[in-house]
Amino acid sequence: MSEQLDENKLIALRREKLAELRQGGIPFPNDFRRDALAGELHRRYGDETAEALEELAVSVKLAGRLMGKRIMGKASFAHIQDMSEPRMQIFLQKDALVDGVYEDFKGWDLGDIIAVEGVMFRTKTGELSVKAREIRLLTKSLRPLPEKFHGLTDAETCYRQRYVDLIMNEDSRRVFQLRSAIVRYIREFLSERGFIEAETPMMQVIPGGARAKPFVTHHNALGLDLYLRIAPELYLKRLVVGGFEKVFEINRSFRNEGLSTRHNPEFTMIEFYQAYADYRDLMDLTETLLRGIALSLLGTTVVTHQGKDYDLGQPFRRMTVLESILQYNPDIRAEDLAERESAAKIAARLGIPVAIGDGLGKIQTEIFEKTVEDRLDEPTFITAYPAEVSPLARRNDDNPFVTDRFEFFVGGRELANGFSELNDPEDQAERFRKQVEDKAAGDEEAMHFDADYIRALEYGLPPTAGEGIGIDRLVMFFTDSPSIRDVILFPHMRPEAVQTIRVDDSRRPEAGPAIQIESS
C-alpha cells in the first residue's frame, strides 16, 4: 500500500511512462558520460560562423534537464539546461536518428534528464545548437515543472522547494553561485595572509562569544545538555593562546530568536583573529577585503543594492558611537549623553525602556541603535562602544569607559563586529561575573562564566584583534537581495500543515506502516 503525495493526472501520466520504462530495461541508467557543458560550448564556439562550425564538425556529449521542446513534425528543437549558463539548443531530425528514437523523444516531458550526442552547428536563425545523432532519457521526471514563461514566483514555494526554484530561476542560481564565490574569496584572502582555518565545537557545554539565546540539545551517553554555539569566538581565542596567531573559522552558528528578513536561526559567519594587531588594523583589513570582493565579483567597487549605489572604493567613514548619535540627533547635546540620569531621560523620550540595572553605556548604546543604526547608509565604521555592552573587548587606553571596538554598517545594516581582544584574565573574569549577575536578574541573553576560558587567558593571550562578519548579510548586500531567505538555500520555515511521506511497503517489506507526519 502507499499513501500518496498530492497526485494529479499530470503526475499519474508520467508514472505510467516510467512504468513502461521499467518494462523496457534499466529505467535509471548511469552509464552516460558527458564531455562538455552548454555554457563552455557557447563561450568556445559562440563566435564561429555556420560555415566554420560545419568545417570543424565538433562532436559533443551533453546531458541536462529538458527545458524546452518544440515538435514540428519530423523535426524538433529542444533546450537542455546543465549547471552552466546558458542552455544549449538541440536539433533533432527523425531521419538522423535510429528508428523509434524520435518517437520516444516525442513522449518525453519537460523536466526529464536527457543525454545528447551530436555535432555543433548554427541554425538558420543563427543559434548555436547541437544536431543530435543519439539521444537518450536518463531520468524520468514525475512532476511537472512550473510554467516556462513566468517560471516559479511564489516565495513560499521557492523557499520550501528550493530545488524547483533553482531549476526555474537563473537569478536564484546566480545568487548562490555568487555566495560560493564570496566564501571562496574570503577563504583565499585570509589563507594568503597566513591565517589557519580551524573547526571548533558546534555543540558547547557553555555557549559563549555573543549575547544571544541558545538552542539546547542533549547528549544521551554523557547524560548532558549541550548548547548549539551562538559564536565560535571563545574557542578561536583559545587557539590563539595555543599559538595559532592567525586563525579563522567559517562557521554556522545558531541563535534562538525570531525570524525576519535579516534573521535566520542558523546563519553563517566568518570569524578571524590576528595576534599583534588591533581593531584599527582590522578596520583596514575589512576595507581591503570588501573592496576586493566587489572587484572580484562585479569588476567594480560600486555595488548596487536596493536601488542605491555604494562605492566601496572610497575610504569608509569612521566615527564613534557618541559622535554618530550627535550627528543624527541635532537636538541631543553631548553633555546630556555623559550622565546616566540625563541620558535616561533622552531614552525615555525616545520610547526606550530603561531598566534599573542599565548603566550609562547600555543606555547610550540603545539610543545609538534606535536613532542611528538603520540610517548608516554609506559604508561606515562605528567605534568606541561602551565596555558595558562589550564584555569581551579590550578597554581603550585613554578612556576605559569604552572599548577598542568597531562595527561596520552599510545600507543601514550591521555586517561586521570587531575589536581588540580583552586579554587581561582578571578583567575578563570580572566582566563574566557582571554577566552572570545580569543573567540572574533575568537577562536571558547575558553570558555565562566560562572558567576554562579564563584559565586559557591566564596562560597568556597575546595582544590580539578579532572580527566576525555575517556572511548571509554580506551576500545579501553583494547580490542585491532584500531578504536573508534569498541567500540561504534552505531557510527556516514552519512545517507545512500536513506532509505525507510516501512509503511503498511492497518494495521495503521491513519497513513499518506508512509514515505520516502531521503538524498540530
Write out the binding residues for RNA, residues 70-89 only, by CB under 7 A: 70-75, 77, 89
What contacts 210, CB < 8 A, 6 or more positions away? 230, 231, 233, 253, 255
Which grid cell sits at 61? 556529449
Q: Which of 103, 127, 199, 437 binds RNA (CB under 7 A)?
A: 127
Which grid cell sits at 478? 553583494
Of 159 and 176, nearer to RNA (C-beta) is 159
Q: What's CA 359's distance to the chain center, in Å?
A: 36
Stretch that binds RNA, among 69-77, 172-180, 228-236, 312-320 (CB under 7 A): 69-77
Of 266 and 424, nearer to RNA (C-beta) is 266
Q: Does residue number 98 form part of the binding site for RNA (CB under 7 A)?
A: no
Helix (H) or strand (E) holding 91: strand 88-93
* SS3 category, 327: helix
Q: Does residue number 316 form part of the binding site for RNA (CB under 7 A)?
A: no
* Cα–Cα dist 405/398, whole Å: 14
Look-up of cell digits 541508467 = 29
Write out the binding residues for RNA, residues 223-242 only, by CB under 7 A: none
Which grid cell sits at 239? 587557539
Report the DSSP beta bridge partners of residue 148.
none
Q: Does residue number 35 form part of the binding site for RNA (CB under 7 A)?
A: no
Residue 335 DSSP symbol: G
* Cα–Cα dist 184/192, whole Å: 12
Look-up of cell digits 558520460 = 33
Of 4 and 399, nearer to RNA (C-beta) is 4
Q: Does residue number 18 form part of the binding site for RNA (CB under 7 A)?
A: no
Write out the binding residues for RNA, residues 292-311 only, by CB under 7 A: none
Look-up of cell digits 557582571 = 434
- The sheet that has 203-204: what strands, in order across it? 203-204, 224-228, 216-219
Q: Which of 86, 107, 201, 357 binds RNA (CB under 7 A)?
A: 107
Write out the binding residues for RNA, residues 145-184 only, by CB under 7 A: 145-157, 159
Of 13 and 203, nearer to RNA (C-beta) is 13
Q: Does residue number 9 form part of the binding site for RNA (CB under 7 A)?
A: yes
Q: How far is the CB of 390 from RNA (least distance, A)?
A: 23
Q: Does residue number 518 form part of the binding site for RNA (CB under 7 A)?
A: no
Q: How far is the CB of 116 from RNA (least distance, A)?
A: 15
Closest CA to 454 of 431, 438, 434: 431
Of 220 and 519, nearer to RNA (C-beta) is 519
For the chain, the maximum distance between any two Cα atoms, rounded to a whole number of angstroms, is 90
Helices (H) and strands (E) in the chain, counts: 15, 20
Write out the binding residues for RNA, residues 38-57 only, by CB under 7 A: none
Stretch that binds RNA, among 103-111, 217-225, 245-253, 422-430 (CB under 7 A): 103-111
Q: Does residue number 261 form part of the binding site for RNA (CB under 7 A)?
A: yes
Q: Which of 124, 218, 507, 508 binds RNA (CB under 7 A)?
A: 124
Q: How far is the CB of 100 from RNA (least distance, A)?
A: 14
Q: Does residue number 483 form part of the binding site for RNA (CB under 7 A)?
A: yes
* SS3 category, 315: coil
Q: How far is the CB of 358 from RNA (least distance, A)?
A: 15
Report the DSSP beta bridge partners of residue 383.
320, 406
* Cα–Cα dist 187/284, whole Å: 18
Stretch that binds RNA, among 56-64, 119-127, 192-200, 314-322 (CB under 7 A): 119-127
Q: Which of 24, 30, 100, 125 binds RNA (CB under 7 A)?
A: 125
Write out the binding residues for RNA, residues 490-509 only, by CB under 7 A: 493-497
Which grid cell sits at 479? 547580490
Question: Residues 232, 234, 237, 241: is their CA dihedral positive or negative?
Answer: negative
Stretch that binds RNA, among 186-194, 201-209, 253-261, 273-281 (CB under 7 A): 253-261
Q: Which of 24, 25, 100, 126 binds RNA (CB under 7 A)?
A: 126
Question: How crowded is residue 65: how many other Cβ atoms within 10 Å of its Cβ?
Answer: 19
Stretch that binds RNA, among 27-35, 144-152, 196-204, 280-288 (CB under 7 A): 144-152
Closest CA to 487 of 231, 183, 272: 183
Of 126 and 315, nearer to RNA (C-beta) is 126
Closest CA to 211 of 419, 426, 443, 447: 447
Binding-residue total with RNA (CB under 7 A): 57
Which grid cell sits at 463? 595582544
Give the footprint of RNA on this chain (CB under 7 A): 6, 8-10, 13, 68-75, 77, 89, 91, 93-95, 107, 109-110, 121, 123-127, 129, 143-157, 159, 258, 260-261, 482-483, 485, 493-497, 519
